[in-house]
Structure 1
Amino acid sequence: MHVEEQPAAGAPSVEVAVTDGVATLRLRNPRRKNAITADMAADIVAFCERVDTDETIGAVVVAGEGGYFCSGADTRDLGAASDDPATTDSMLRTTRVYSSFVRVGRLPVPTVAVMVGGAVGAGMNLALACDVVLATPTAVLDSGFLARGIHPGGGHFSLLGRGLSRSQAMAMGALGAPVSGEQAVSLGLVWATYDEHEIEQQARSLAARAGSDPELSRRIKHSADLELGPNATSWAAAVELERGVQMWSLRRKGEAGWTASRSGG
């Protein structure tokens, strides 16, 4: 069975397809390296709600269009939030992006991220929210927050800590050290690397067995969540812990601080 939903041409969006029990969520904002807009974030949440209730889906693959996974939150939204981060509107802007990858992380089925090219900031959060990450060998995983002069958000250290030691998480999140896809495999952040022409098919192959038995897949995922959950600060608590200080860093930067770079973050 194959079900596909096509978004409007040209507009930043997400594309959803379901084939043989495997749902694919594809970010479609290639001009901005698939930076997540508010509308895209809402569509990701809607997709997750569909997966929650559609028991014919046994696995999810998350990918980006145009040779890059995700450059993070759209800097136009971050810039607007930086004007006065304490306002309700500013809080909603960041919460929408947080909600998108948090919902992916809470899906009731196994999830596989296809990281082609790279991931930055909230884009790396989205990848690490998935259960398994595949990457191209030269893909760049970059926390990116320090380079943009803002505090990490979205429970970033909690996500890094799932696969890294404290020292490794600090090198990436606090000191801004990027790593390649190959390095990420050795560190434990990425399961395996594949060339760009084959990586998505490898992700589908990895997800195929779970997709073929959704009922069992969902029960296995539930057990994994209970047994492998974080034993330090919960992700939910980490999101809230980072929220206030990231808002402070956005206010310090101000909306004008985003005009020099509009690639995402």
Structure 2
Amino acid sequence: MAYESILFENNDGVAVITLNRPDKLNSFTVAMHLELRDAIGKLQADASVRVLLLTGAGRGFCAGQDLSDRAVKPGEAAVDLGESIDKYYGPLVKSLRALPFPVICAVNGVAAGAGANIPLACDIVLAARSASFVEVFCKLGLIPDTGGTYFLPRLVGTARAMGMALLGDKITAEQAELWGLIWKCVDDDKLQEQARAMALHFAKAPTKGLAHTKAAIYQSPANTLEQQLDLERDSMRALGLSRDYREGVSAFLEKRTPAFTGE
């Protein structure tokens, strides 16, 4: 597939996807969804990939849905928004969460609507100091989709999630960091540099261990303590047989930098 709405790189274990409709603040169309699905499918099938960096082109990360792509006009049949979730936004969130390696999101400007919630499906979010997060759904008579009603209360608590969802106020990157909505707020001119440095770090890290760590943390809220201890046992048993664990121990004992392969 030739991409027109995204940019896609995949080099030395580091994959980079850039939402690339800057004139429309990278808002989503069906075409963008299909291109993202294709690119993520390639990553799922490529065992050499060890990290994904997701970001946006231009002055914004993503303004959510491009309303002109599914405009409701007088006299025309209403649009089935549930179908849009089923076909596009739901699968996108699930595919990002399921990737067996770290997913970094670098939010380079406004993140609104679905564009505010897609970063929350990623594992680590860095945001430029000028960036902001806006749950605009309430201003359109909708609910925070793309996982918003799932992620927000888990990350910032019920009170703040309600405020964000019912008022639609702009949350600055600095506020988002203080609330625990994101990992870190960084200066605008350092965002891409720090995001790529983190991606390079993960490309040399023990990928299988990180994948198990992700899975365990995401499973934790649904588990009892006993279930979580069993999960930890099973992961440790599997990881103890990995090449990376043996390399990590050897490097520690030999006082050298480990050369992890992700296996």
* Fold shared by both chains (TM-score > 0.5): yes
Q: Check if 1:185 corresponds to 2:183.
A: no
Q: Write out aligned runs for 1:9-20 (5 A).
A: 13-20=5-12
Q: Deviations over 1:181-238 (max 9, x none)?
A: 001110011211222222011011112122124xx31442233213333626xxxxxx
- What CA deviation, in whole Å up to 9, does each residue of 1:42-76 have, x standing for no partner? 11111211111211110110010012100001112
Find out whether 1:108 has 2:100 as its counterpart. Answer: yes
User: Is this contact kept in 2: 1:77–1:93, CA < 8 A?
Assistant: no
Looking at structure 1, the residues matched to 50 and 219 of structure 2 have their Cα atoms a distance apart, in angstroms, of 20
The answer (yes or no) to whether the contact 1:6–1:16 under 8 Å persists in 2 is no
Alpha carbons 2:63, 2:111 under 8 Å: kept: yes
Percentage of matched positions with identical amino acids: 27
Evaluate the alpha carbon distance shift between residue 230 and residue 77 of structure 1 in structure 2; reply closer, same or farther with a 3 A threshold. Answer: farther
Deviations 1:136-174 (A, max 9, x none): 112110011012222222221111133211111111112
Q: CA deviation at 1:127?
A: 0.9
Normalised by the length of structure 2, the TM-score is 0.76
1:222 aligned onto 2:212: yes
**How much does 1:80 deviate?**
4.7
For these two proteins, the number of residue pairs brought into alignment is 220
1:96 aligns with 2:57: no
Pairing of 1:103-182 with structure 2 (within 5 A): 103-182=95-174
Gaps of 5+ in 1: 233-265
Q: 1:118 to 1:184 in 2, by over 3 A?
A: same
| Alpha-carbon distance in structure 2 between the residues aligned to 1:131 and 1:107 | 10
> Which has the larger Rg?
2
Per the TM alignment, residue 33 of structure 1 is displaced from its structure 2 partner at its CA by 0.3
Confirm or deny: 8 A CA contact 1:20 1:212 kept in the other structure.
no
Secondary structure of the corresponding residue to residue 162 of structure 1: helix
Q: Which residue of 1 aligns with 2:239?
A: none
Distance (Å, rounded) in 2 between the aligned partners of 1:53 and 1:182: 36
Match status 1:39 vs 2:31 = yes
Change in Cα spacing, 1:78 to 1:159, as seen in structure 2 (3 Å) is: farther
Can you give the 5+ residue segments of structure 2 that lack an aligned partner in the other structure?
223-263
The reply on whether 1:22 has 2:10 as its aligned counterpart is no
1:78 deviates by 4.0
Structure possessing the higher relative contact order (Cα contacts under 8 Å, 6 or more residues apart) = 1
Deviation, 1:102, is 2.9
1:74 equivalent to 2:66? Answer yes
Task: Tell me which amino acid in the other structure corresponds to 1:220.
Answer: L
Distance 2:102 2:27 in 1: 24
Q: CA RMSD in A?
A: 2.4
